[in-house]
Amino acid sequence: QKEVEQNSGPLSVPEGAIASLNCTYSDRGSQSFFWYRQYSGKSPELIMFIYSNGDKEDGRFTAQLNKASQYVSLLIRDSQPSDSATYLCAVNRGGGFKTIFGAGTRLFVKA
């Protein structure tokens, strides 16, 4: 079992729809959870982080964390073609431990 698992996609949604990206992790000691966006040929860019169970909203992005189910998700409302990218889920248990990255989900937003 991979430490951080994501559906590789591609996930295709029409412009204006809600895109839902999911991630599961295996380490119950994980404390911090991150979503990075990576455009083709570019480096990952941090877009959201969440530490507590529940929802965290930032503009069109909402991160959802359920530690009991070891599940974290990212919702993108009113999806735009510019949201088309690979989204990486990352997990860290703090204390200097390594951050573990998922392989990423490719998202395509069709105009």
Partner 1 sequence: DGGITQSPKYLFRKEGQNVTLSCEQNLNHDAMYWYRQDPGQGLRLIYYSQIVNDFQKGDIAEGYSVSREKKESFPLTVTSAQKNPTAFYLCASRMTSVHGETQYFGPGTRLLVL
Rounded to a whole number of angstroms, the minimum distance from the CB of residue 43 to partner 1 is: 4
Do 60 and 76 meet the contact criterion of CB atoms below 8 Å apart? yes
Distance set, CA 75 to CA 56, 89, 109 (Å): 10, 13, 13
Site map (CB under 8 A) of partner 1, residues 35-74, x = contact: -x-----xxxxx--x-x-----------------------
Verify binding: residue 14, partner 1, rule CB under 8 A. Answer: no
By C-beta, is 68 or 96 nearer to partner 1?
96
By C-beta, is 5 or 20 nearer to partner 1?
5
# residues near partner 1 by CB under 8 A: 22
Which residues contribute to the site for partner 1 (CB under 8 A)? 31-32, 34, 36, 42-46, 49, 51, 88, 90, 92, 94, 96, 98-99, 101-104
